[in-house]
Amino acid sequence: MQGEARRIETEHRLARMRNYEMAQLISFAFHDPKKMPKFEDSTEGRKAISNEVANAKVRGFLISLSQKKTAGRG
């Protein structure tokens, strides 16, 4: 349930960011196209992680999740 709510919130936040950026670009294009900012890729600063690291993170998450569920069954 929480995952679905987070996914919806993330989609909404991303849509708001796109709309805000589009409004800025429309404003530049209409009023002063010469000052229009250059496109910046938002994925430039991200580092790729190896499959081993990703698998270890997922495995750790699943282990902690299983321990939380069994801890309450004393």
pLDDT surpassing 80 at residue 24: yes
Tokens, residue 44:
């430039």
Confidence of residue 12 (pLDDT cuts 50, 70, 90): very high
Tell me the C-alpha to C-alpha distance, in Å, between residue 28 and each of 5, 19, 25, 36, 65.
Answer: 35, 14, 5, 5, 49
Tokens, residue 55:
């698998």
pTM over 0.95: no
Radius of gyration of the chain (CA): 21
Confidence of residue 15 (pLDDT cuts 50, 70, 90): very high
Residue ranges covered by each domain of the chain: 1-37
pLDDT surpassing 90 at residue 37: no
